[in-house]
Amino acid sequence: MAQQHLDRLTAVDASFLAQEGPSSHMHIGGIVICDGPAPGYEEMLDHIRTRLHLVPRYRQRLAQPPLETGRPLWVDDPTFNLEYHVRQTALPAPGSEDQLMRLVARIMSQQLDRSKPLWEMWIVEGLQEGGFALITKTHHALIDGISGVDLATVMFDLAPVPPEIPHSDEPWQPHAEPTGAELVAGGAAGLARVAAGAVATGVTLLRRPAASWRALTEAAEGLGEVAWAGLNPAAATPLNVEIGPHRRYRVVRNHLADFKEVKNAFGGTVNDVVLTVVTGALRDWLHSRGVRTEGLELRALVPVSTRTREETGALGNRITVMRGPLPVYIADPIARLRAVKAAMDGLKESKQAVGAEVLTGVQSFAPPTILAQASRLNFSTRLFNLIVTNVPGPQFPLYVRGREMEDVFPIAFLPKGHALAIAIMSYNGQMNFGLLGDYDALPDLDRIGDGIEASLEELVALARRRTGPARPSTNGASRPVVAGHDG
The DSSP code for 179 is P
> What is the model's pLDDT at position 187?
54
Residues 6+ apart with CB under 8 A from 200: none
Instruction: Return d(Cα 163, Cα 146) in angstroms, integer.
Output: 24
Among 455, 443, 449, 438, smallest CA distance to 478 is for: 449
pLDDT tens for 80-136 read: 999 999 999 999 999 999 999 999 999 999 999 999 999 999 999 999 999 999 999
The interaxial angle of helices 180-207 and 209-231, nearest 10 deg, is 120
Are 451 and 476 spatial neighbours (Cβ–Cβ below 8 Å)? no
pLDDT for 211 equals: 52
Nearest to residue 74, comparing CAs of 170, 189, 152?
A: 189
| More reliable by pLDDT, 10 or 476 | 10
Q: Which pLDDT score, from 0 to 100, does residue 433 have?
A: 96
What is the structure's pLDDT at 11? 80
pLDDT at 484 over 80: no
CA dist., res. 335 & res. 332, Å (int): 5
pLDDT score for 469: 58
Highest-pLDDT range among 47-56, 160-169, 183-192, 459-468: 459-468
Instruction: Please choose, from the candidates 20, 36, 116, 65, the residue with its C-alpha nearest in 3D space to the C-alpha of residue 400.
Output: 36
Confidence of residue 25 (pLDDT cuts 50, 70, 90): very high
Taking all residues of the chain, what is their mean pLDDT, rounded to a whole number?
Answer: 80
The backbone torsions φ and ψ at residue 361, rounded to the nearest 5 degrees and listed phi first, read -65, -40
Query: CA-to-CA distance for 262 and 196, rounded, in angstroms?
Result: 48
Instruction: Clarify whether 140 is annotated catalytic.
Output: yes
- According to DSSP, the β-strands at 481-484 and 247-252 are antiparallel
Find out whether the peptide bond into 94 is cis, omega within 30 degrees of 0: yes
Task: Return the pLDDT at 53.
Answer: 87
For residue 73, pLDDT over 70 is answered with yes
From 25, 139, 140, 485, active-site residue? 140
Q: Name the DSSP class of 116.
A: S
